[in-house]
Structure 1
Amino acid sequence: MNAFATVSRALPQPGGAALLLDFDGTLVDLAETPGGIAIDPGLPSLLDDLARATGGALALVSGRAIDDLAGFLPGYGGPLIGGHGAETRLDGRISRHPLAGSALLARLWSEVQALAAEAPGLLAEPKPTGCVLHYRRAPGHEAWVQDRLAALAGSAPGIEAHQSKMAVELRPDDIGKDRAVAALLQLPPFAGRAAIFCGDDATDEPAMAFCLQAGGTAIKVGKGPSAAPHRLDAPAALRAALTHWAGLETAR
């Protein structure tokens, strides 16, 4: 049996599940730059089909900004959690963390831009509720980036430096995907359902652990340690597993 079929058969039935999906590295392959990702042509229709199969209990839970996610998926109108929980879009309305637009974040963004200019290959990325310094194209600077952003976080009350894949992000210290998921699961149509979280890196692990503790499950996409009981090797395999899980193969 294919790995995606094995995983999909182990999941709760769609009608009783809440499906929570990370974006980069989970639904789409990672790229050297945040804007360089390619959207699989079938992804928008797959999300529509999954929303119907789950009765609307589908949400994207990402570190990206909500406006960024919406730009990549203009036809998706469902719930979005962005900035690791610092932004939420429900029923078309967006709410953001109080630090969004603050002078503190503006100062940090200026300093992160200055750090990016110090070494070829580093890339600074602004977000409404933080900023990121990517070193995917300069892996030799990993420790340097981690040290510099840890120092910046130490100078900024309410901010933490958070490690992700080949990047360090400065973000509010009172947010997280686990907290965002916990809040979402209190709301209809998510409440009372078995939560399934799908993610690919360390920023997803708290949400995976929360879902497991709440009686749900999780799927890890790619390599690396994880609490998730299920694993698939790439976003394409996850898309195939979700198609199989929702019974969409025979419907198409």
Structure 2
Amino acid sequence: MYYEMIGFHGEAQDEPLTDEIECPDLSKATLFLDLDGTLVDLAPTPDGIQVAPDLGELLGLLYERTEGRTVIISGRAIEDAAQYLQGFGGPMIGGHGAQERLVDGTIKRHELADETTVQRLGDMADSFAATHPGLLCERKPTGVVLHFRKDESLAAPAYAFLRALSETHRGFDLHHSKMAYELRPAGIGKDVSMRKMMQQDGFAGTRPIFFGDDVTDEPALQWVAAQGGIAVKIGEGETAAQARLEDPSSARRTLRRWTQKEH
């Protein structure tokens, strides 16, 4: 029902869930992994997620097997995502592509959003959420999110409010997410960031793999599939991915199996 409401229609319909996915040669691959809903279960609030005790070790193994090409790609700001992934020093993409953490730890921010405008959008969204108990405002370095996980009846007013802001603030687009709506700078997307990274030295010529769960991940899933990579949808919903896993624990289990495969 939710996906119908937001108007997303993938190229493939729901298919039976399966843990049996092709085991790739990780030494010739670049692995992109979403965080929320993919590696960890969603929680009522963004700061309420629970990280599996062995996730850090798993990411370390994947980083080793891919020869440094395991990339966390999240809608969260890098600084936020990193606190849940202590010990992972690999590349990260945050804010759906608005930030990039290089291998040396340097964080680059794409200057597509004026800080004053982002601050103003955040202030207005904060005020709106304060008058609607059940809404949660999440401020990001390049935009703002309104979550309605606690009260789905607030989806419509949250959408209307952010839609109005998008129409009065040029350069910002409204995006649908799981139980949330987000304003972020135009021209930013996980698929855009993936294409750029796959052109860099050390990544070019490798096979892209992406695990994602959200409707906002669909353009990237579709792009990876089109490149002959492996696109994996986590959870329910229409998708352009060729494969599907039931939940984050299934995703972690599959990734663990991949690290144990000898090529």
TM range (shorter): over 0.9
Question: SS state of the match for residue 220, structure 1?
Answer: strand
Match of residue 237, structure 2, among 224, 233, 251: 224
How many angstroms apart in 2 are the aligned matches of 1:107 and 1:56? 38
2:27 alignment partner in structure 1: 15
Unmatched 5+ residue regions in structure 1? none
Question: SS state of the match for residue 197, structure 1?
Answer: strand
Quick check: 118-127 or 36-45, which moved more? 118-127
TM-score by structure 1 length?
A: 0.94
1:237 alignment partner in structure 2: 250
How many residues in Structure 1 have an aligned counterpart in Structure 2? Answer: 245
Q: By how many angstroms is 1:188 displaced?
A: 3.3
Q: By how many angstroms is 1:100 displaced?
A: 5.0
2:45 alignment partner in structure 1: 33
How many angstroms apart in 1 are the aligned matches of 2:25 and 2:242? 17
1:63-212 residue pairs with structure 2 within 5 A? 63-91=75-103, 92-99=105-112, 102-212=115-225
Give the alignment's Cα RMSD to 1 decimal: 1.5
TM-score by structure 2 length?
A: 0.90
Q: By how many angstroms is 1:11 displaced?
A: 3.8
2:70 alignment partner in structure 1: 58
Percent of aligned pairs with the same residue? 46
Q: By how many angstroms is 1:103 displaced?
A: 1.0
Q: Deviations over 1:200-224 (max 9, x none)?
A: 0111111111111112120000000
Q: By how many angstroms is 1:82 displaced?
A: 0.3
Which aligned runs of 4 or more in structure 1 are off by greater than 3 angstroms? none
1:42 aligns with 2:54: yes
2:5 alignment partner in structure 1: none
Q: Deviations over 1:209-246 (max 9, x none)?
A: 11111121200000000011110100000000011112
Unmatched 5+ residue regions in structure 2? 1-16
Q: By how many angstroms is 1:97 displaced?
A: 2.2
Letter in 2 for 1:221: I
Question: SS state of the match for residue 116, structure 1?
Answer: helix
2:7 alignment partner in structure 1: none
Q: By how many angstroms is 1:117 displaced?
A: 1.1
